[in-house]
Amino acid sequence: MADDKKLTSRAEDFSAWYNEVVLRAELADYAPVKGCMVIRPNGYGIWERMQRALDDMFKATGHRNAYFPLLIPESFLHKEAQHVEGFAPETAVVTHGGGKKLEEPLIIRPTSETIIYHMFAKWVQSYRDLPLLINQWANVVRWEMRTRLFLRTLEFLWQEGHTAHATHDEAEAEARSILGLYRDFQENWMAMPVVTGLKTESEKFAGALRTYSLEAMMQDNKALQAGTSHNLGQNFAKAFDLKFQAESGSMEHAWNTSWGVSTRMIGGLIMCHGDDNGLRTPPRLAPIEVVIVPIWKTDDERGRVIEAAHRLRDELAAWTGRGSTDRLRVHVDAREGMRSGAKYYEWEMQGVPLRLELGPRDLEKHSVFSARRDTREKAPIAMAGVAASVAKILERIQLDMFAAAKERRESHSVRERITYDRFKELMEGEGGFVYAGWNGDPAVEAQVKEETKATIRVIPDAEFRSPDAPATCMVTGQPATHEVVWAKAY
């Protein structure tokens, strides 16, 4: 890459990022249909690792994978009043098939509640059939007015969980439990801290009783909704006649939840951790955790060094200190005709967390030279016990990346009580998360959005709230019903 082309993780230069980091790393590309996304084969594979980790977590909590059709009769969407109001404007509609106009148009799913609860209604008769816990990995289409690679594509890949329960409390517990599962994934795998909480009425999912969300802060201090979990109440059960006979003998509507995270998380990862040298991948999600770069001058050195590099690779990959299924993911870059410096930059751009340099000098000293991607710290590591040392560094990187992101978020979170004028100033300038009192009035939300473009991201969960609850609404001065987090969002 040319020196004059500085990369930055800031939003204003995000397109440079796409070209240099994302496209070159083969994560994704533009497709001929504007606003769509391609995940390339032989790609760097971050999404694949995300998918696998989440899938394991769902299975461990009793969820099973299923698959439902892409095409849904338009009438299904109309069965739930709020749902159709929310999604009709952005659905793609299939009107013709087999050369003929269809009697009833089909929509391409923008989400699968309707078709799934239609099927659930046929599957559930008794309370013994509950809870029904399913997940689907699928693509959905939402015809947005404006798209942004990863963050808002026209078609996107996600997982959507859908469950049915016998009671409100059980459904509520499921929605909260998934919120926790997502948080675990985003914080401990993606090293991306999130604020969890409840969405306001105006921001909740179309058709839900309550929507919970996870909000991350990007490096431009804007919020990214990184996932949502909904308690759907009995809204869909009533619309789709999803009923069961209870233990008492009475017929009751089931209680549903739905929840999802998408390829948007890749965008979140990039914008949370990227720096001017490219991507930084947290080790747990890095398809390659360690790259070994052999260094040589003469042919004789070349043979010895490359052999040693492969031996090192084998030793690292064989190490079982992290458990038999979680081996170190190591790559040897022995490409000829490329200087080591050029290799360093390339792997740094792709975000490989740890680089090991191995040359004749290291062989003599029975050590290997390491360089961390996140901090760019460099230090020799003794060959004796090298695998355990490397694993320890990777663990450290994972934790440090999370800590650094959390510190950045906190340093751009305003927790002291500020005036609305000061708030406007902040939103015009540096942005950030502002914790403030709110009188609970949707009109106030609308006014603030109109005047500042900021919205209430969440009514935060207890752990995020201030020790002293705000007494008054920041905007109106009236008594506050909630403490909320205001921010501009993607």
The piece of 50-58, 101-109, 168-176, 353-361 that touches RNA (CB under 7 A) is: 353-361
- Return the residue of 50, 106, 132, 151 that touches RNA, per CB under 7 A: 151
DSSP per-residue codes, 395-445: HHHHHHHHHHHHHHHHHTEE-S---HHHHHHHHHTT--EEEEEE-S-HHHH
Determine the interface stretch with RNA among 63-71, 147-155, 321-329, 431-439 (rule: CB under 7 A): 147-155
Give dist(CA 188, CA 247) in Å, integer: 40
What are the residues facing 253 on neighbouring strands?
243
Which span (52-60, 143-151, 396-404, 431-439) binds RNA, by CB under 7 A? Answer: 143-151
Of the candidate residues 90, 241, 307, 451, the single one contacting RNA (CB under 7 A):
90
Is residue 297 a contact residue for RNA (CB under 7 A)? Answer: yes
Nearer to RNA, 163 or 258 (CB): 258
With CB under 7 A as the contact rule, which of the stretches 75-83, 261-269, 323-331, 462-470 interacts with RNA?
Answer: 261-269
340 contributes a contact to RNA by CB under 7 A? yes
Region of 2-10, 123-131, 231-239, 474-482 interacting with RNA (CB under 7 A)? 2-10
CB of 160 to RNA, least distance (A): 10
Among 82, 177, 188, 277, binds RNA (CB under 7 A): 277
Site membership for RNA, residue 51 (CB under 7 A): no
Report d(CA 341, CA 154) in Å as an integer: 39
Instruction: Draw the binding track, 201-240, toward RNA (x: CB under 7 A; -: no contact).
Output: --x-x-------------------x--x------------
Which residues have CB under 8 Å from 244's CB, separation 6+? 124, 125, 126, 127, 129, 130, 166, 251, 252, 254
Q: Is 341 exposed, middle or buried (0-12, 13-18, 19+ CB in 10 A)?
A: exposed
Give the count of residues interacting with RNA (CB under 7 A): 58
29-63 exposure pattern, b = at least 16 Cβ within 10 A, e = fewer: eeeeeebbbebeeebbbbbebbbebbeebbeeeeb
Q: Is 34 in the site for RNA (CB under 7 A)?
A: yes
In whole angstroms, the minimum distance from the beta carbon of 52 to RNA comes to 20
The answer to whether 31 touches 356, Cβ cutoff 8 Å, is: no
d(CA 432, CA 32): 36
Structure tokens at 33: 């249909």
Q: Rounded to an integer, what distance in angstroms lies between the CA atom of residue 43 and that of residue 13?
A: 23
Chosen residue from 344, 389, 418, 476 binding RNA by CB under 7 A:
344
CA–CA dist 408, 410 (Å, integer): 6
Q: Which range touches RNA (CB under 7 A), out of 44-52, 86-94, 313-321, 429-437?
A: 86-94
User: Cα 136–138–141 angle (5° rounding)?
Assistant: 135
Per the CB < 8 A criterion, the answer to whether 205 and 230 are in contact is yes
Pairing label, strands 71-73, 155-165: unpaired
One of 371, 383, 397, 454 touching RNA (CB under 7 A): 371
Does a cis peptide bond (omega within 30 degrees of 0) precede residue 89?
no
- Span interacting with RNA, options 98-106, 290-298, 320-328, 389-397, rule CB under 7 A: 290-298
- The contact mask relative to RNA for 155-174 (x = CB under 7 A, - = no) is -x------------------
- Please give the residue ranges that form the binding site for RNA (CB under 7 A): 1-3, 5, 15, 19, 34, 86, 89-90, 142, 144-146, 148, 151-154, 156, 203, 205, 225, 228, 262-264, 277, 295-297, 336-342, 344-346, 348-349, 355, 357-363, 369, 371, 376, 378, 453, 489-490
